[in-house]
Amino acid sequence: MKYKKLTVEEEQVIEHKGTEPAFSGEYDRHFGNGGYFCRRCDSKLYNSEDKFDAHCGWPSFDQEVAGAVKRLPDADGRRVEIQCASCNAHLGHVFEGEQMTEKNTRHCVNSISLVFKSNGEAK
């Protein structure tokens, strides 16, 4: 699979499981209509209607596109890491049981791992 060339900052998060600073990402307060795609492989990960403001400093979604995101135990032993199912890019973490939405799930995603495409330009 051919991947997009990443900047040093993108590589730190996507390949080395880093985290961008809270409230610094371009999609934290972004609520356009469209889809969110993996920055590395361009697979569709989330739909805009599943995004919500969790006031945590990172984009939050309560549901992924079916089959697009995989969950793995995090190295810290406490959290669940989420990755792109197509290319294994690190996205962030998923939390359940917080009662923030009816789906009771929060995908806390680094903006730098995503690319937003409006409905007119999304595949």
Confidence of residue 122 (pLDDT cuts 50, 70, 90): low
* pLDDT-derived band at 45, boundaries 50, 70, 90: very high
- Asked if residue 63 is part of any domain, the answer here is yes
The reply to whether 79 falls in a domain is yes
Check residue 73 and give its pLDDT: 95
Note if the pTM is more than 0.85: yes
1: in domain: no
Q: Which residues participate in catalysis according to the annotation?
A: 108
Beta partners for residue 71, in sequence order: 82
User: Where would I find the beta strands (DSSP E) of the chain?
Assistant: 34-38, 44-47, 51-52, 60-61, 69-73, 80-84, 90-96, 105-109, 114-118
Contact indicator for 111, 25 with CB cutoff of 8 Å:
yes
CA pair distance 32, 76, nearest whole angstrom: 34
123 lies in some domain: no
For residue 2, is it within any domain? Answer: no
Q: Is 81 inside a domain boundary?
A: yes
89, part of any domain: yes
Count of domains forming the chain: 1
The CATH number given to whatever domain includes residue 76 is: 2.170.150.20
Per-residue pLDDT at 3 exceeds 70: yes
Residue 35 lies in a domain: yes
Digit-coded pLDDT (tens) for 47-91: 999 999 999 999 999 999 999 999 999 888 899 999 999 999 999
